Structure 1
Amino acid sequence: MGLTHQWLLIFASFSALTSIAMAADLYSLIYKGRANGSLGGGAAALQAIAAVASSLIAQSSTSKFYKASATSMARQALSGLFQGRA
């Protein structure tokens, strides 16, 4: 299974996450696995991450490439990219 398919499965598995409490796990996955900078924690950051992940998950079944972004109340910008391959 290719790396892209693994990420698709990971993101698809989080499609049921709707509450901020569950977004904390998503925050840990994304931040620990892919980020080198620092994104301040707290509810505002978790809301931004949940919004980006939700948007990417929703578009992953219909688009081959999609970019999503959100800004937290603390004015922290967060972007995410999805690229699917056949």
Structure 2
Amino acid sequence: KAKIELSSSQQTEVNLPYITADASGPKHLVQKLTRAKFESLVEELVENTLAPVKIALKDAGLDTGSIDDVILVGGQTRMPLVQQKV
């Protein structure tokens, strides 16, 4: 849910109730997450997904300059970081 919200917002709240309990009762996680922090956490994964794309272009004898349009499919492609990198 946070990932979806951060595709269109700069910040969201992660709220996970009852993640544990101790003698004083249940504990909940309530944490603000910014898009910048989220992107820093997933940036390496995004970069790693670009390697197969580069290989496919090379195997096809193409380069990025020969591509006019790209169709992005799937939930992750709504992330601004993914769109920027592609």
TM-score w.r.t. structure 1 length?
A: 0.30
| More strand, by proportion | 2
TM-score w.r.t. structure 2 length?
A: 0.30
